């Protein structure tokens, strides 16, 4: 995966748009085709046709076709495809097609190219606040005109609905939402007499290294923890645990000493203690017993549960100065793409309404591990049965009270890429800590300044 550094300026440049187009989109309300309003301000956009669909099954011929580019592969894509199949069978007017484009970064690249080519999907799904980049570029349609008493933001968990709006309009409905979790080999911890079912601190885990490394796997001492090359999302919680912040509005790293303490900890755990390391595939190493603990999304829950041959432990993210720490909201929600078709937008809204049914949301939670984002889904009998039989699935819900939106500097794909690279240099290459801080600060400051106008328009100060 190549490193993406998409900023507002880069995106607008790629789309052949000036800053005025984004500013107009940010300051005006939605209009429909029949409103006859400014096209730049409305939910429709002439000349933006539907991207190519695959073969449409004969039983769905003659319906209104809509297309979703999914940022998932493997089991998550299979679970999402099942939801689409349920929708296609549940009514006779709409055929919803789903295509995997890889991961979130792949979707970022593919959607940018689609906008430039003016052949777009009808629905997309970007992580956390990264949809704002495309809102700034006028690529997304407001959802509010489709809401009614039965389907609106009130049906979803409050932790995630504030991330759905810009300029008092809704551009995202939550769906695959999550928090990071700490996963550990509970069987190993029990065998060694180490604490389980508890709230860990990073220092405590570091102190357990000598006991854990006394056991071997595949002829090698077991490591305590595996970092990866893409840990930016988790790094929000790491720094909150050390009582720091990556940015406060436009002020980058207001307390640099907290960042230095965190980076020193990670670097020394790997390159002094030798009980942590940067893995190419951390979850694979965890499944095969090479490492005792990893972190991951709640969406990793189902896959890890089925993949490991030991008892899986799931816990809140480790704390340090703050115990338990704040954790970032994560995962993604659905956005509707501005295109030339009101009919397809109305059909897309019907799909979103279907996916918000309690029984459908509950099934997605069971199949994936993402939090049951629709409030009523937690009352579904199958969901209650799951939580009674496997308490790991309850941990993410319990941790929700500690969840909050990440700093604006990490709303951007380029910001998360810079943060991941900073830690990869420390844990993978034993890089210089002050140099990593200075590099990250420079990249963060450039990003915020590049997007200052739009961030101020959505309330960042």
Pairing status of strand 327-328 against strand 180-185: unpaired
Whether the bond between 382 and the residue before it is cis, its omega within 30 degrees of 0, is no
Q: Residue 5: pLDDT band by 50, 70, 90 thresholds?
A: very low
Q: Residue 4: pLDDT band by 50, 70, 90 thresholds?
A: very low
Over the stretch 286-295, which tens digit does the pLDDT of each residue have? 999 999 999 9
pLDDT at 41: 59
Q: Which residues contact 231 (CB under 8 A, 6 or more apart)?
A: 419, 420, 423, 424
Dist. CA 313–CA 294, nearest whole Å: 11
pLDDT at 220: 95
pLDDT at 147: 98
Dist. CA 127–CA 260, nearest whole Å: 28
Q: Is the pLDDT of residue 30 over 70?
A: no
Dist. CA 88–CA 71, nearest whole Å: 20
| Helix residue spans in 356-391 (DSSP H) | 358-368, 381-389
Q: Is the pLDDT of residue 2 over 90?
A: no
The total of other beta-carbon atoms located within 10 Å of residue 434's CB is: 11
What backbone torsions phi and psi does residue 456 show, to the nearest 5 degrees? -65, -30
Q: Residue 365: pLDDT band by 50, 70, 90 thresholds?
A: very high
Over the stretch 189-231, which tens digit does the pLDDT of each residue have? 999 999 999 999 999 999 999 999 999 999 999 999 999 999 9
Q: Is the pLDDT of residue 12 over 70?
A: no
Q: Is the pLDDT of residue 351 over 60?
A: yes
pLDDT at 203: 98
Q: Residue 17: pLDDT band by 50, 70, 90 thresholds?
A: very low
Over the stretch 412-458, which tens digit does the pLDDT of each residue have? 889 999 999 999 999 999 999 999 999 999 999 999 999 999 899 88
Q: What is the largest CA-CA distance in the chain?
A: 72
Over the stretch 93-130, which tens digit does the pLDDT of each residue have? 999 999 999 999 899 999 999 999 999 999 999 988 88
Q: Which residues contact 277 (CB under 8 A, 6 or more apart)?
A: 223, 226, 227, 270, 291, 427
**What's the whole-number mean pLDDT along residues 148-170?**
93
pLDDT at 387: 95
* pTM, rounded to two decimals: 0.84
Dist. CA 366–CA 345, nearest whole Å: 29
């Amino acid at each position: 995966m190549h490193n993406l550094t998409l900023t507002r300026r880069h995106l607008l440049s790629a789309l052949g748009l000036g800053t005025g187009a984004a500013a107009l989109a940010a300051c005006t309300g939605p209009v429909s085709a029949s409103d006859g309003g400014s096209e730049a301000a409305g939910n429709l956009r002439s000349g933006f046709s539907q991207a190519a669909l695959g073969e449409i099954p004969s039983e769905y011929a003659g319906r209104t076709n809509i297309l979703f580019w999914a940022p998932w592969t493997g089991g998550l894509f299979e679970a999402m495809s099942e939801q689409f199949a349920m929708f296609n069978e549940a009514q006779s007017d709409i055929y919803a097609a789903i295509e995997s484009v890889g991961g979130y970064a792949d979707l970022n690249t593919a959607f940018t190219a689609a906008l430039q080519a003016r052949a777009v999907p009808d629905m997309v799904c970007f992580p956390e606040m990264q949809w704002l980049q495309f809102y700034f570029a006028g690529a997304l349609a407001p959802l509010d005109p489709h809401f009614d008493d039965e389907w609106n933001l009130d049906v979803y968990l409050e932790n995630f609905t504030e991330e759905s709006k810009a300029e008092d309009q809704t551009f995202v409905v939550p769906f695959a939402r999550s928090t990071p979790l700490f996963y550990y080999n509970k069987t190993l911890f029990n065998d060694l007499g180490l604490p389980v079912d508890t709230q860990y601190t990073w220092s405590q885990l570091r102190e357990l290294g000598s006991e854990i490394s006394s056991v071997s796997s595949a002829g090698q001492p077991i490591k305590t923890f595996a970092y990866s090359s893409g840990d930016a999302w988790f790094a929000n919680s790491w720094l909150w645990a050390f009582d720091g912040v990556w940015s406060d509005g436009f002020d980058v790293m207001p307390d640099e000493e907290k960042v230095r303490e965190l980076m020193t900890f990670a670097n020394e755990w790997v390159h002094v203690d030798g009980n942590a390391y940067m893995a190419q595939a951390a979850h694979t190493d965890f499944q095969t017993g090479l490492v005792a603990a990893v972190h991951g999304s709640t969406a990793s829950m189902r896959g890890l549960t089925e993949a490991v041959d030991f008892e899986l432990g799931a816990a809140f993210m480790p704390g340090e100065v703050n115990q338990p720490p704040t954790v970032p909201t994560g995962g993604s929600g659905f956005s509707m793409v501005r295109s030339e078709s009101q009919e397809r937008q109305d059909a897309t809204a019907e799909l979103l309404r279907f996916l918000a049914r309690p029984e459908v949301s509950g099934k997605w939670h069971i199949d994936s591990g993402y939090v049951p984002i629709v409030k009523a889904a937690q009352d579904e009998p199958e969901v209650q049965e799951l939580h009674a039989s496997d308490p790991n699935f309850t941990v993410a819900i319990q941790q929700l009270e500690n969840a909050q939106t990440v700093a604006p500097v990490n709303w951007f794909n380029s910001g998360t890429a810079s943060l991941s690279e900073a830690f990869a240099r420390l844990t993978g290459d034993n890089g210089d800590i002050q140099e990593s801080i200075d590099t990250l600060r420079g990249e963060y400051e450039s990003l915020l300044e590049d997007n200052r106008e739009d961030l101020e328009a959505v309330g960042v100060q």
